[in-house]
Amino acid sequence: MLKQKDYYKNKTIFVTATNTDVGKTYASEKLLRHFAKLGLKVGYFKPCETGVVDSPLDGTKMLNLVKQLNKDFEVTINDIVPYQFKLPAAPYVSKGNTTIDIEFLKQKQKQLQEMCDVLIIEGAGGLMVPIEKDIFIIDLIKEFQAQAFLITPSKLGCINDTLLSIQALEAKNIDFEFFINLYEDKDSFDEVSLPFLKEYFSEINYLNDL
Per the annotation, binding residues for ATP are: 21-26, 58, 122-125, 208
Q: 28 with 120: CB under 8 angstroms?
A: yes
b/e 52-83 (16+ beta carbons within 10 angstroms → b):
beeebebbbebbebbeebbeebebebebbbbb
Q: Is 46 a catalytic residue?
A: yes
| 3: Cβ contacts below 8 Å, ≥ 6 apart | none
- DSSP, collapsed to helix, strand or coil, labels residue 204 as coil
Choice among 5, 11, 30, 46 that is catalytic = 46
Residues tagged in the binding site annotation for substrate: 50
Q: 146 with 13: CB under 8 angstroms?
A: yes
Q: 36 with 18: CB under 8 angstroms?
A: no
Q: Strand 42-45 and strand 130-132: pairing?
A: unpaired
Classify residue 186 as exposed, middle or buried by CB count within 10 Å of its CB (0-12, 13-18, 19+): middle
Strands (E), 107-182: 118-122, 130-132, 135-136, 147-153, 176-181
Residues tagged in the binding site annotation for Mg(2+): 25, 58, 122
Residues tagged in the binding site annotation: 21-26, 50, 58, 122-125, 208
- Residue 124 phi/psi, 5-degree rounding, is -120, 125
Which residues are the active-site residues?
46
